[in-house]
C-alpha cells in the first residue's frame, strides 16, 4: 500500500492518504501531550508500542465480534485502516474511581464501581472537550440516536472483553476512551487502544502503567509502556 499525502496531524498520530480512497495509513508518533495540549513532551518509542498494542487489541476484539477500522499493521509505526468519518463524541467507560471522576465526585482513587459508568465528551480542543449527555448529542446534531446508542452498546461490550483479557495478564482496566467512525453507513471502533487512551494498573500492586505517569510526573514512563506491551503482546 503506497503512502501518499498527509491528510491530518494530531497530537499522537499522522494520517496519510493511500492509493485506495477507502483506506488511510496511521503513523504513530512519540509525542506526548496532556491536559488538552497544555503539557507537552515525548516518550521514547511510544509510537511503536501504541501501534503494536492497538493492533493486538483490535485483532482480539475482532475475534470477539467487535468491528473496527483496523486492517493490518504495516510497520513498527504504521497501521492500515479504513477511512472513517469520526463521530465528534469521545466515549469513556469507567470501572474504578480515578482521574477526573475522583475529582468530580470528591472520592479517593481506587474504588471499584458497582457497575461500569459510560460518559460522553464533545471532541473540541477549543472547548476542552466538555462532558455532555445523550440529549446534548441529539439536540445539537453531533450524532444520530442510532450512532450514539451503537457506540454506547459497543463500549460496554469492549469493556467486558478488554477487562477479562487484561485481567488475565494481571492488568486492571480502570477506565478508557473510545472513538467511533462511520464507514459506509456502519459505525466502527476507531482511533487507538493503548496506554495513551486507557488507565491500566497492575492488579496486585495498583502501580500505574499508563499515561498518568507522564501526566503526573511519576517517572519510569517508558518502562510502564514497555511493560504493558510485554503483557499484552508477549514481547516488545
User: Using one digit for the tens of pLDDT, what is the confidence trace for 53-88?
Assistant: 999 999 999 999 999 999 999 999 999 999 999 999
- pLDDT at res. 235: 62
Distance CA 207, CA 193 (A): 19
Per CATH, 3-82 and 85-220 having the same topology is answered no
> What residues in the chain have per-residue pLDDT under 70?
235-236
Strand intervals (E) in 22-148:
23-28, 31-34, 39-42, 70-73, 78-82, 85-86, 89-96, 112-122, 131-132
The 10 Å Cβ neighbour count of residue 104 is 9
Cβ–Cβ < 8 Å for 91, 151: yes
- The ranges assigned to domains in the chain are 3-82, 85-220
- pLDDT at res. 39: 82
- pLDDT at res. 36: 73
Query: Which phi and psi angles does 100 have, rounded to 5°?
Result: -65, -30
CATH superfamily of this structure's domain 3-82: Phosphorylase Kinase; domain 1 (3.30.200.20)
Cβ–Cβ < 8 Å for 51, 77: yes
Which CATH architecture describes the domain 85-220? 2-Layer Sandwich (3.30)
Distance CA 25, CA 23 (A): 7
Amino acid at each position: 500500500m503506497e503512502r501518499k499525502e498527509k491528510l491530518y496531524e494530531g497530537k499522537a498520530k499522522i494520517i496519510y492518504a493511500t492509493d485506495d480512497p477507502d483506506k488511510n495509513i496511521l503513523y504513530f508518533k512519540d509525542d506526548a501531550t496532556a491536559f488538552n495540549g497544555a503539557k507537552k513532551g515525548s516518550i521514547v518509542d511510544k509510537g511503536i508500542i501504541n501501534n503494536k498494542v492497538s493492533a493486538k487489541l483490535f485483532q482480539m476484539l475482532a475475534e470477539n465480534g467487535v468491528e473496527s477500522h483496523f486492517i493490518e499493521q504495516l510497520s513498527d509505526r504504521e497501521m492500515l485502516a479504513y477511512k472513517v468519518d469520526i463521530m465528534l463524541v469521545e466515549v469513556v467507560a469507567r470501572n474504578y474511581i480515578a482521574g477526573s471522576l475522583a475529582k468530580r465526585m470528591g472520592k479517593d482513587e481506587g474504588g471499584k464501581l458497582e457497575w461500569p459508568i459510560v460518559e460522553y465528551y464533545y471532541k473540541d480542543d477549543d472547548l476542552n472537550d466538555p462532558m455532555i449527555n445523550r440529549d446534548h448529542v441529539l439536540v445539537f446534531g453531533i450524532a444520530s440516536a442510532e450512532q450514539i446508542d451503537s457506540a454506547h452498546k459497543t463500549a460496554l461490550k469492549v469493556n467486558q472483553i478488554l477487562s477479562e483479557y487484561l485481567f488475565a495478564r494481571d492488568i486492571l482496566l480502570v477506565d478508557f476512551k473510545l472513538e467511533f467512525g462511520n464507514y459506509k453507513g456502519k459505525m466502527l471502533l476507531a482511533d487507538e487502544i493503548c496506554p495513551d487512551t486507557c488507565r491500566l494498573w497492575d492488579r496486585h500492586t495498583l502501580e500505574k502503567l499508563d499515561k498518568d505517569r507522564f501526566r503526573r510526573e511519576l517517572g519510569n514512563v517508558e518502562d510502564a509502556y514497555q511493560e504493558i506491551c510485554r503483557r499484552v503482546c508477549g514481547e516488545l
